[in-house]
Amino acid sequence: MDLNKLSYESYGNLVIIILLVIALLFNLFPFNLLGFIMCIIEIPIYLFVRYKFKEAIHANGLNICFFLTIFFYCLLFLTIKMTIFLMGETFGFVLSTIINILGCYATSTLPNRQESKGKLFFGRKSENGRYADLFRLIKFDPTNKEICKYEDRLKETDMFTYYIFKYIFRDGLTWDETMDKLDINDRKDLDKEIYAIYRTLQYVCDLKRLD
């Protein structure tokens, strides 16, 4: 299953469901209700710190992001289980929360998109993602005839879509940065616009077809 084909909302829901299942499994034998609750509490703490104080970024492609997220939480849940067993419930929760906050802070302060371009794991401009072909085409052939004709046509007919194209594919801004600049409130609206841009250029530029 290629997670890059999922919307961010669907991807997020999938991750949360899997984390809940993992939290249950970690506390099932023997069953520890308090440990399970403590594991669940760590999820919103992670989301709050990650999205409130630092820009939420993904690894270079959702497949790698998924693996790293699950791996991080398995270690976190194991820490909760072990510290509860060895040192008590309060210390276990405090220690795991500190690890949680430090972990999400560290990942959210990784090098930005331009500094990490082309690296395997972290770099918000995913050249392994759903729109990789278009990113690479613009990167290696910025004056491509069909791309330039498309931009000129947008300038004449649809400046809103033009700026989405420019910010995402030319300037390398993130989805969140583009939403802020264009005052877009719903990520789904931006996803639809980007999808439409790619589909328009897909045939004239011989890009990889989207399923």
Angle between helices 62-87 and 8-26 (to 10 degrees): 30
Q: Which amino acid is at 111?
A: P
Whether 200 maps to a domain, the answer reads yes
- Point out the least confidently predicted range of 1-5, 16-20, 204-208: 1-5
Evaluate whether residue 73 is within a structural domain: yes
Say if pTM beats, i.e. exceeds, 0.75. Answer: no
**Among candidate residues 51, 76, 108, the one where a domain is terminated:** 108
Q: Determine what percent of the chain falls in helix, strand and coil, rounding each to the nearest 5.
A: 70, 0, 25
Q: What pLDDT shows up at residue 62?
A: 67
Residue 126: pLDDT band (50, 70, 90) is very low
Mean pLDDT of the chain: 76
Q: What total of structural domains would you count in the chain?
A: 2
Give residues with Cβ within 8 angstroms of 60, minimum separation 6: 116, 119, 120, 121, 122, 123, 126, 127, 128, 129
- 87 plus 13 within the same structural domain: yes
Tokens of 147: 């791309």
